[in-house]
Amino acid sequence: MKVKNFEAWKLSESMIYEDMESSDGLALFANGNNLYTLYDPRLSDSLDGSYFRGMVRLKENEEFNALEVTDISATKGYGPILYLIAMTIAKKRGMGTMPDQRDTPSKLAIHIYNEFFNGRGKDLVTTEPVDTSYEAESLNQVYHIINDIDILKLTKLNEELLRDNDNLKNILLDEYEAGNQLFDQRNP
């Protein structure tokens, strides 16, 4: 069964202006090592897409020893947690995160980087200035999370759920492919 709910939440980045939601009780699906889907397994029987919290795609930047956040889409309140998950993934690889270097980040992405640089999120990260071409100082940084998000807990829950639920696995794989295709269209 093909689910096409990704379209419903793909561009909803208004969450950046809201309080950040917690990752408690959520699961993280990764098919490969560059695209991550955050979802709520308590709602996984629903076929209306309400279980999806967001998706983030990362790309390695060897020059700055960082993972670029090339694409991110989330439901309200989950964008900041996806950035922190990306920072935790980067930290586990001995790297930081930074904005996409091939395209100017969206206004909403710039806002969230501003929040991490000198706003509400500044106590969650450290920054390292880098020489990139952006005017905004917050975009010329590599970000390092201070206190990791418990990625192991999120991925273990996902693995436990998928072990006994082929339907959920197929839904996540379909959404993963739809998200990858959409991100590719946005960034040819």
| In a domain? residue 157 | yes
Residue 140 CA, chain-centre distance (Å), reads 19
Reported as a single tens digit per residue, the pLDDT across 35-49 is: 898 988 877 666 566
| In a domain? residue 63 | yes
CB-based contacts of 53: which residues, under 8 Å, 6+ apart? 21, 26, 38, 39, 40, 74, 75, 78, 81, 82
Model confidence at 16: pLDDT above 70: no
Which domain does 165 fall in, by range? Answer: 6-186
Domain tally, the chain: 1
Q: For residue 160, what are the CA distances in angstroms to 33, 72, 163, 165?
A: 19, 25, 5, 9
Torsion 76-60-157-5 (CA) sign: positive
| In a domain? residue 1 | no
pTM of the model: 0.82
| In a domain? residue 126 | yes
Average pLDDT, the chain: 81
pLDDT at residue 185, as a whole number: 64
| In a domain? residue 44 | yes
d(CA 167, CA 165): 5
Q: Which has more confidence, 165 or 155? A: 155
| In a domain? residue 150 | yes
| In a domain? residue 111 | yes
